[in-house]
Amino acid sequence: MEEVLALVGEDPSRDGLKRTPERWEKAMRFLTSGYHTRVEDLVNGALFAVKVDEMVLVKDIEFFSLCEHHLLPFHGRMHVAYLPTNKVIGLSKIPRIVNMYARRLQVQERLTQEVADAISDAIQPRGVAVMCEASHFCMMMRGVEKQQSTTVTSAMVGAFREDNATRNEFLSLVGRGHR
């Protein structure tokens, strides 16, 4: 980090920057802590046998991540739904899974799919749907410089991919249905 500061024309030894390299390292360790976490550890046995076959949806899960191309932040909300078979997952585990994958160097498309796959693998539901809406600082601060744009990605697994009615119910519940 000292070299980077010098490359951009700063003096890494000036008062305000003396401890910046260690603060940056600490921040990066936190922002990429998802590499040192496993879904199994997050779930921690919070799977419960329940006879429910209707959609479970956790909406508006806030997240932040770092774009792997520019190391600039992107942030937004994720909506995660699943159709249980014989078990449900503790509701707080879903945002924890989102955070785990978001705290890695990412692209939004992969982040969306990783969350869907993790939920699917953890509880083997009839289907999983994930929608991610995010703003990217790499588009806001550089390049096209569009501050109001958002990117929407989705991953549909099982019944959400195969059944239009199920997919449309999810989209309607997250406010993205047919108008």
- Of 129-138, 139-148, 150-159, least confident by mean pLDDT is 139-148
Of 62, 68, 109, 162, which residue is the catalytic one?
68
User: 82-137, pLDDT tens digit by residue?
Assistant: 999 989 999 999 999 999 999 999 999 999 999 999 999 999 999 999 999 999 99
Does 136 map to a domain? yes
Domains identified in the chain, total number = 1
User: 160-172, pLDDT tens digit by residue?
Assistant: 999 999 999 999 9
> What is the model's pLDDT at position 178?
52
> What is the model's pLDDT at position 143?
87
Q: Is 67 a catalytic residue?
A: yes
- To the question of pTM greater than 0.95 for the whole model, the response is no
> What is the model's pLDDT at position 71?
95
> What is the model's pLDDT at position 179?
45
Q: Is 68 a catalytic residue?
A: yes
**Mean pLDDT over each residue of the chain, to the nearest integer:** 95
DSSP readout, the chain?
A: -HHHHHHTT--TTSGGGTTHHHHHHHHHHHHTGGGG--HHHHHTT-EEE----S-EEEEEEEEEEEETTT--EEEEEEEEEEE-SSEEE-TTHHHHHHHHHHSSEE-HHHHHHHHHHHHHHHH--SEEEEEEEEEEHHHHTSTT--TT--EEEEEEEEHHHH-HHHHHHHHHHTT-S--
> What is the model's pLDDT at position 167?
96
Whether residue 177 is predicted with pLDDT greater than 80 in this model: the reply is no
Of 79, 108, 114, 132, which residue is the catalytic one?
108
Does 58 map to a domain? yes
Does 50 map to a domain? yes
> What is the model's pLDDT at position 130?
98
Q: Is 136 a catalytic residue?
A: yes
Give the percent of the chain with pLDDT over 90. Answer: 91
Give the CATH number for residue 126: 3.30.1130.10
Of 106, 132, 136, 169, which residue is the catalytic one?
136
Does 79 map to a domain? yes
User: 45-93, pLDDT tens digit by residue?
Assistant: 999 999 988 999 999 999 999 999 999 999 999 999 999 998 999 999 9
Q: Which residues are CB-contacts of 136 (< 8 A; sequence separation ≥ 6)? A: 67, 72, 74, 108, 151
Domain residues for the domain of 109 are 32-173
Q: What is the mean pLDDT of residues 10-26?
A: 96
Does 166 map to a domain? yes
Of 25, 40, 62, 69, which residue is the catalytic one?
69
Does 147 map to a domain? yes
